[in-house]
Structure 1
């Protein structure tokens, strides 16, 4: 089957080696990352939420779909993977319907979480979580798009009392249910990473690098990881600089927290040249 150039490129990236897929949060950050030579980008639900004055998980479906479509248009020559949270539905049929809306934005891939977003029952029951991935697989197949399906196991993020065995159990089931890529946020040690790689039934693993784990891209590659993302870490880093600079002004009356022109000097000429190229 012939897929779009972006989908074909994205699928190819997962075949060998380990690649980095950063997470921009707006058009400017997407264009900058493209200009740095990255071969694929992914949206970040948290990073985008902050630009809208919202907390992560508080962005409604249609607002997120509009953002995803904007990011696809921002880098039309690159694959974009959508952070589509939990599919904006609890039922498998609801997930399937929303998946088709996401595919229609032109993404090359998308991820679905097994987290409910509810404190009382933070993870979908095992069988329902698996059926949601089966429904997502069927929905993508019905579009004929070839969009890459990533299934996320969120036990580490949701306070599960024994997260690694639960993640391993779910990732294996998600692989059998048709996920193309497996992803367990917050695995960070070589031992944890090796466990999820083994659970993936030979399918690619995504690791989100949200801090310095003491591992290089080559180290992740040696552990069998195919894809590295940064999640909301880059957006949070930008916000950290902003928060600190405003704190110094408010609490100490000092203006020493600005990064300064020396750091940001490349932005102006880059965006001028980039706009000309796009035009």
Structure 2
């Protein structure tokens, strides 16, 4: 068990209190090294990118042991605060969620994302409480970022989404949430309304229609996540390179060559 003074949990909480924490979501030790070298102040995984890196589809299909392997791999190469996306907790049993959180805490993880999806709100509340209890037993002040899919999945009519998001946020906060993640929230007036009404740091996901970071800060957003976008960009480049090779026997060099990439991996 790491003491509060020497661990990253307090630092990660502090990063949500002022300004805008920007998380370029990674998926393994290599992508974590790239993010850190680019100036990241903390790291967070993308559930989709982690799943894809292991040949699984996103949506809680990844075996838990591979999730833990990814977290440990990132922790091996970086001392930055790390948050791990556990989707819906990989099951409906709050006790199993608690076990997973304990294992992640032992691997040095100081934050998690957990989501409601189309599942019952009360079930997620029980999972949040179980995760909070497990973290406390492990001696970690876990940053429990709770994702609600009110916007992403259209769980309420367009005119009722702000109110439904605020309603769920209050329940999640009472259960033990540290922050609220609302992917799909993009309109300035709605962002401001949620940020002002919710007593939790607000996290939004990068979208083409989203205001720029400086404006997000003004609206009260405290965390901006890339989500799966960086992973999507990476896989798009891989597909393009493979197709080019199969068609021509050549691959157009990327911005980083072998030497630069290899140097990042031994930093």
The correspondence for 1:241, drawn from 234, 237, 249, is 237
Distance 1:219 1:94, change over 3 A: same
Question: Partners in 2 of 1:44 and 1:2 — Cα distance?
Answer: 26
Does residue 14 (structure 1) correspond to residue 12 (structure 2)? The answer is no
Name the SS of the counterpart of 2:124 in structure 1: helix
Q: Which residue of 1 aligns with 2:202?
A: 205
Q: Which residue of 2 aligns with 1:170?
A: 168
Does residue 220 (structure 1) correspond to residue 216 (structure 2)? The answer is yes
Q: Which residue of 1 aligns with 2:122?
A: 127
User: Where does structure 1 differ by over 3 angstroms across 4 or more consecutive aligned residues?
Assistant: 244-250, 253-256
Kindly indicate whether the alpha-carbon contact (under 8 Å) linking 1:123 and 1:154 is maintained by their aligned counterparts in 2.
no
Q: Which residue of 1 aligns with 2:77?
A: 74
Kindly indicate whether the alpha-carbon contact (under 8 Å) linking 1:133 and 1:179 is maintained by their aligned counterparts in 2.
yes
Task: Give structure 1 stretches of 5+ with no counterpart.
Answer: 116-121
Q: Which residue of 1 aligns with 2:110?
A: 108
Question: Partners in 2 of 1:273 and 1:220 — Cα distance?
Answer: 31
Does residue 260 (structure 1) correspond to residue 263 (structure 2)? The answer is no
Q: For residues 85-104 of structure 1, what are the structure 2 equivalents within 5 Å?
A: 85-104=87-106
Distance 1:204 1:137, change over 3 A: same
> What's the CA shift for 1:178?
1.8
Kindly indicate whether the alpha-carbon contact (under 8 Å) linking 1:172 and 1:199 is maintained by their aligned counterparts in 2.
no
Kindly indicate whether the alpha-carbon contact (under 8 Å) linking 2:23 and 2:226 is maintained by their aligned counterparts in 1.
yes
Q: Which residue of 2 aligns with 1:119?
A: none
Question: Partners in 2 of 1:32 and 1:143 — Cα distance?
Answer: 30
Deviations for 1:114-138, whole angstroms, at most 9, x for unmatched residues?
Answer: 12xxxxxx322x2222222222222
> What's the CA shift for 1:3?
4.7
Name the SS of the counterpart of 2:221 in structure 1: coil
Q: Which residue of 1 aligns with 2:29?
A: 27
Question: Partners in 2 of 1:72 and 1:273 — Cα distance?
Answer: 16
Task: Give structure 2 stretches of 5+ with no counterpart.
Answer: none
Kindly indicate whether the alpha-carbon contact (under 8 Å) linking 1:171 and 1:196 is maintained by their aligned counterparts in 2.
no
The correspondence for 2:225, drawn from 226, 229, 246, is 229
Count of aligned residue pairs for this structure pair: 261
CA RMSD of aligned residues (A): 2.3
Kindly indicate whether the alpha-carbon contact (under 8 Å) linking 2:44 and 2:83 is maintained by their aligned counterparts in 1.
yes
> What's the CA shift for 1:179?
0.9
Does residue 152 (structure 1) correspond to residue 154 (structure 2)? The answer is no
> What's the CA shift for 1:244?
3.8
Name the SS of the counterpart of 2:8 in structure 1: helix
Q: Could you tell me the TM-score, scaled by structure 1's length? A: 0.84
Deviations for 1:257-278, whole angstroms, at most 9, x for unmatched residues?
Answer: x6634x224x623532651x4x
Question: Partners in 1 of 2:193 and 2:104 — Cα distance?
Answer: 31
